[in-house]
Amino acid sequence: MRSSMEANCLRFLQFVQKRYGVIESILYEPLGFTVGPQKIRYVPDFKITYEDGYSLFLEVKGFLDYSSIAKIQGFKKTTGLDLYYIGNQEYKRIERNYKYRLKNWE
């Protein structure tokens, strides 16, 4: 993992996977994409596949700079795949509700 935020989000996703059984797999940085008109290289943090076969990508980032915004927008336009973003606000909500329920929270 490149940050404690990513590591903690993985812990949360694994908790959901074990507890509710709806997630088939969680892959960290599984694929790279060339996105947007500038042909920027982008690797989403996670690919989550559900038991019904539906997959989505997840980006975990505390702060979005211009480059990050361009990559996320380019990914959505270029691939047509679903990408969700966990920023500070979403992360704080997860942390508040799960920090003491999950082992090794950083």
Contacts of residues 36-39 at CB distance under 8 Å and 24 or more positions apart, as own/partner, are: 36/70, 36/71, 36/73, 36/74, 36/77, 36/78, 37/74, 38/70, 38/74
Position 84 confidence tier, pLDDT thresholds 50, 70, 90: very high
What's the whole-number mean pLDDT along residues 41-60? 97
Least confident of 17-21, 33-37, 83-87: 33-37
List the structure tokens of 41.
């290289």
The answer for residues whose C-beta is within 8 angstroms of residue 6's C-beta and 6 or more apart is: 28, 45, 60
pTM for the whole thing?
A: 0.92
Average pLDDT of span 33-48 = 93
Pick from 52, 44, 42, 46: which is nearest to 12 by CA?
Answer: 46
pLDDT of residue 95: 96
Percent of the chain with pLDDT over 70: 100
Average pLDDT over residues 2-14: 96
